[in-house]
Amino acid sequence: MKAIIKIQYVDSIVNNEKAKEIIVGQRLKAVDKRGILDEAVDKLELGAIMSRKVGQLSGGELQRLTIAMTCV
């Protein structure tokens, strides 16, 4: 896991006030260059958090979000 995503990156998302207000679904759609967003959301079970703000995510949800961002 550390080879893909540095722990510091996950921590910086939580500590960044601007990032806390970003809607998860909007952020993922913005970075989806390969058109695999739906597949990543299904595999990582992110459907329930797509309309929430990053600041409202639990630690595990935040980790899955960063994995999805890496994939798309």
In the chain, where the domains are located: 7-71
Read off the pTM.
Answer: 0.70
More confident residue, 39 or 31: 39
- Residue 68: pLDDT over 50: yes
Burial of 54 by CB count in 10 Å (0-12 exposed, 13-18 middle, 19+ buried)? buried
Output the CA–CA distances (angstroms, integers) from residue 50 to 1, 4, 13, 55, 57, in the order listed.
Answer: 23, 22, 16, 13, 10
Q: What is the per-residue pLDDT for 11?
A: 59
* Joined tokens for residue 29: 């759609």
- Reply yes or no on whether the pLDDT at 60 is more than 80: yes
pLDDT band per the 50, 70, 90 thresholds, residue 2: very low
Query: In this prediction, what percent of the chain has a pLDDT beyond 90?
Result: 7
